Amino acid sequence: MEPYLPVIWAGVIVVAVAMYVILDGFDLGIALLFPTTSDEAERDQMMNSVAPFWDGNETWLVLGGGGLWVAFPLAYSIIMPAFYLPVIAMLLGLVFRGVAFEFRWVAKPSHLPWDIAFFAGSLVAAFCQGVILGGLVEGVAVANGAFAGGPFDWASPFALMCGCAVTTGYALLGATFLVMKTEGRIADHARQIAKRLIIAVLVFMAAVSLWTALSSERIAERWFSLPNLVWLAPVPLVTALVGFGVWRSLERGGEMAPFAGTIALFLLGLLGLAISSYPFIVPPSVTLYDAAAVPASQMFSLIGAMITLPMVLAYTVFVYWTFRGKMRPGQGYH
């Protein structure tokens, strides 16, 4: 089993990251939509729609980061110094957002500063997550098993574009979640915004795909050489079809389908990144096997993960089942 441990751990981390992006993505996205309405009742309804979930969603970020630390310590020791500034900014954004979430309700009616903190903290967190992702895909300078670049290597045009792309994607997740979870004016408002955001997200996905292929011979060969071209062509085609399906569902008044379709878009994007990057965990030089901890350490931590992961999944399912249904105007959990 030892040869498979790095792949198993990579799968655990991918699951944690995917769960975080989807679950925390929609509640970050709802905060990003705050400036699109100034109506007090609509903002209350937006915030109440994610009140039972938002803090639990961030558990997956801890699991993903902790998994990287224990299973791939070399990758952790390279990635963290490469992205110290965006990581710190992201964490500060999440803190501001969390504090604003609690204080906004007790500060009424003078809660405008907390509305701004809720939006700004979410914007910084979402943008920095995209920058980190883009910087990682673009590649990290490594020499003698350590980060060999500068503190601002992450601030490249491609990484900044990825920051905008992830922010837009989270806004789409938030809008489609509101379509599914709320009713009345705020649901209609979110539906109109989502129809514009889905077009922007598809444009960003196409731009990121083409940019990575044009800038990296390794990625271009992975996608465009034969027979890979034949095997991998369904990924962009299905992505385009799902995007069109989300737009059509929004046009026809669908409630759950747009949110499910948006999740599918994120998973397809993650699949595309995995195809482009495998087997590198720190492109273009450190593979999963280079960065893996010793087998005994991986096995010990994997046992812990096999206990923790089902518990986190069970808690997540329990919370979402308990607070299922529409959030109607005037309802709340505070």
What mean pLDDT is predicted for residues 278-283? 89
Question: pLDDT (tens digit, 9 = 90+) per residue, 153-181?
Answer: 999 999 999 999 999 999 999 999 999 99
Q: Which of the pair, 326 or 94, is modelled with greater confidence? A: 94
Question: How far is residue 72's CA from residue 302's CA, in Å, rounded to a whole number?
Answer: 12
Question: pLDDT (tens digit, 9 = 90+) per residue, 283-327?
Answer: 888 999 999 999 999 999 999 888 988 888 898 899 889 888 887
Cβ-Cβ contacts under 8 Å for 91 (sequence gap 6 or more): none
Question: pLDDT (tens digit, 9 = 90+) per residue, 50-80?
Answer: 888 888 888 888 888 888 999 999 999 999 9
Q: Percentage of the chain with pLDDT > 90?
A: 60
What mean pLDDT is predicted for residues 211-215? 87
Q: Which of the pair, 111 or 332, is modelled with greater confidence? A: 111
Cβ-Cβ contacts under 8 Å for 114 (sequence gap 6 or more): 100, 103, 104, 107
What mean pLDDT is predicted for residues 196-216? 92
Cβ-Cβ contacts under 8 Å for 248 (sequence gap 6 or more): none
Question: pLDDT (tens digit, 9 = 90+) per residue, 114-124?
Answer: 999 999 999 99
Q: Which of the pair, 45 or 3, is modelled with greater confidence? A: 45
Nearest to 78 by CA among 156, 19, 153: 153
Q: Would you kindly state where each structural domain of the chain is located, as residue ranges?
A: 3-192+288-323
pLDDT of 125 above 90: yes
Give pTM, 2 decimals: 0.93
Main-chain phi, psi angles of 87, to 5 degrees: -65, -45
Whether cis (ω within 30° of 0) applies to the bond prior to 81 is no
* pLDDT score for 333: 60
Inter-helix orientation angle 112-138/84-106, to 10°: 160
- Assess contact for 164 and 138: CB atoms under 8 A: no
Burial class (CB in 10 A: 0-12, 13-18, 19+), 266: buried
* pLDDT score for 215: 84
